[in-house]
Structure 1
Amino acid sequence: MSTRTVTVTGQGSTAVAPDTAVVRVAAVARAAGLAEAFASASTAAAQIGVVARRHTVEERIASTGITVWPWHDNQGRQRGFEARHSLSIGCSDLDAAGALLDELAGEVGDALAVDGVALEVAETTAARDRAVAAAYADALRQAEQLAGLAGASLGDVLAIAQGGSAGGGPGFRGMDAIAASAKLEPGETTVAASLSVTWALA
Structure 2
Amino acid sequence: MDTGVTVVGSGQVSGTPDVLRVSFGVEQVAPDVAAAVARVGERTDAVIAALRGRGIEASQLGTSAVNVYQDYKEPDAATGYRASHTITVETKDLTGFGALLNAAVDAAGNSLGLHGLQFDIEDKTELLTQARELAFQQARAKAEHLAELAGFSLGSVTAIAENHNQFPIRRAYNASKAVDLGGAINVVPGDSSVEVTLEVHFAWA
Question: Shorter-chain-normalised TM-score: which range?
Answer: 0.7 to 0.9
What is the aligned partner in structure 1 of residue 166 from structure 2? Answer: 170
In the alignment, which of 190, 195, 198 is matched to residue 192 of structure 1?
A: 195
> Residues 85 and 10 of structure 1: is their aligned pair in 2 closer, same or farther, counting only changes over 3 Å?
closer
> Residues 198 and 75 of structure 1: is their aligned pair in 2 closer, same or farther, counting only changes over 3 Å?
closer
**Which deviates the most, 41-50 or 12-21?**
12-21
Could you give the per-residue CA deviations for residues 127-159 of structure 1, whole angstroms, max 9, x where no partner exists?
11111111111012112212222334434x232
Asked whether the equivalents of residues 158 and 198 of structure 1 are also in contact (C-alpha less than 8 Å), the reply is yes
% identity of equivalent residues: 26
Q: 1:164 Cα deviation (Å)?
A: 0.9
Aligned residues: CA RMSD: 3.0
Q: 1:35 Cα deviation (Å)?
A: 3.8
- What is the distance in 2 between the residues matched to 1:46 and 1:4? 64
Q: What one-letter code is carried by the residue in structure 1 that aligns with 2:166?
A: P
Q: What one-letter code is carried by the residue in structure 2 that aligns with 1:49?
A: I
**TM-score of the superposition, structure 1-length normalised?**
0.78
Could you give the per-residue CA deviations for residues 8-29 of structure 1, whole angstroms, max 9, x where no partner exists?
2222212234331222112222
> Residues 76 and 61 of structure 1: is their aligned pair in 2 closer, same or farther, counting only changes over 3 Å?
farther
**TM-score of the superposition, structure 2-length normalised?**
0.77
Could you give the per-residue CA deviations for residues 16-49 of structure 1, whole angstroms, max 9, x where no partner exists?
3433122211222234454443332211101111
Q: What is the count of residue pairs matched by the alignment?
A: 196
SS in structure 2 of the partner of residue 122 of structure 1: coil
Asked whether the equivalents of residues 72 and 78 of structure 1 are also in contact (C-alpha less than 8 Å), the reply is no
Asked whether the equivalents of residues 119 and 192 of structure 2 are also in contact (C-alpha less than 8 Å), the reply is no
**Which deviates the most, 133-142 or 65-74?**
65-74
> Residues 130 and 78 of structure 1: is their aligned pair in 2 closer, same or farther, counting only changes over 3 Å?
same
Q: Which runs of 5+ in 2 are unaligned?
A: 176-180
- What is the distance in 2 between the residues matched to 1:136 and 1:119? 28
